[in-house]
Amino acid sequence: MRSDILAVLASSLSLATAHTYIWGVFVNGVDQGTFRGIRTPAYNGPPPRGYANSPVKDLDSIDMRCNVLGDKQVPHTIQVQPGDNLTLDWHHDNRSASDDIIDYSHHGPAMVYLSPDPPADNSFVKIWEKGLYETSDKPYGAGKWATTSDIKANKGLMHVRIPAGLKAGFYLLRAELVGLHEADASYLKNSRRGIQFYPNCVQLEVVGDGEVALPTDGVSFPGAYKYEDPGIVYDVYCSTESKATRTAPCTTTYPIPGPTVWSGAWAETTAVSVGPVLEGSTSATRWSSWISKSVVTSATFVGTSPYITATSTYTASWSTEYSAPAPTMA
């Protein structure tokens, strides 16, 4: 049932704006398999308009933690060691170099958090971030941002390292891309606009004899971001050195939402060359269930058309105990 809920039609995905989520993880450049260890977002809404790569805009929603159905464990976890390089492979339609990853209008920062799994209050610790790293020399120019000028431009690859000396145990890696193209208005005042978060979680098992524990004063999701925080309501097209055409003051800096990066994280995270994607599926499979407004709808197929069989109300329920799945290849 879980794989069915998570499944999507690649043809339906193409109908959506170029949104995104994680399709695979490389450990030290070695692919761990498409969707392995990843809590892939649920297919949100029925065809022809539903898709699994939609953003989360309600900062008070439990979906801010790991996206839709993020409370559901997947049957595998990825085994890593302190210091390992992880490369998260973000895509829109399919896991290929030709995929568009995310629309070029979706300028914004990118962040990575780490939490014990299962997470608790204030357990998410930021271990990497990148935002506006170069301003534009053109009026209304958006500048260079992590989501578009870095990750999209590099075929969807996001690089982060497991903290040095991290204690062995089960962890949840929470990564997110952010789109600011509609962030000039608050979601509270206009639900058709607002900042767009694309959170996605990966199940990890850290092995080894490390002794460094994550700090206990992290943040919670939801709760880490507030509507009044700097960077939540923001005109991305103000990130320019030329302000002559603006009637109101523009800023050339951007305060990345959330806490500062943990001092125990790596100060520098460099790009790692990745090998080939493992043989097997590199595209999402056909859906048989979807969720919309907390209602899960299951369907069976007759030819090319779905036949709805049942619906049920869904309420996120995060377990306080960890049920260890089988590890993927190390």
For residue range 112-156, list pLDDT tens digits in order.
999 999 999 999 999 999 999 998 877 777 889 999 999 999 999
| Cα–Cα distance measured from residue 273 to residue 85, given in angstroms and rounded to the nearest whole number | 10
Whether the CB-CB separation of 103 and 96 falls below 8 Å is answered with no
Token code pair at residue 175: 């990564």
* Number of other CB atoms surrounding residue 38 within 10 Å: 27
Q: What is the pLDDT of residue 14?
A: 40
Taking residues 303-307, report their average pLDDT: 63
Tokens representing residue 77 in the block: 């976890």
Residue 11 has pLDDT above 50, yes or no: no
**pLDDT at residue 251, as a whole number:** 74
Query: 């524990």: which residue's tokens?
Result: 213
At the top level of CATH, the class of 1-275+282-330 is: mainly beta
More confident call, 321 vs 196: 196
pLDDT class for 307, splitting at 50, 70, 90?
Answer: low
Cis peptide, bond prior to residue 48, ω within 30 of zero: yes
Q: What is the pTM of this model?
A: 0.89
Closest CA to 284 of 23, 103, 44: 23
Q: How many angstroms separate the first and last alpha carbons of the chain?
A: 27
User: Mean pLDDT across the chain, nearest whole number?
Assistant: 86
- Spatial neighbors of 247 by CB under 8 A, at least 6 apart, are none
pLDDT tens track for 72-82: 999 899 999 99
Strand order in the sheet with 295-302: 289-292, 295-302, 305-313
Q: Where are the domains of the chain?
A: 1-275+282-330
Judge whether residue 232 has pLDDT over 90. yes
Residue 8 has pLDDT above 50, yes or no: no
Residue 210: how many CB atoms within 10 A of its CB? 18
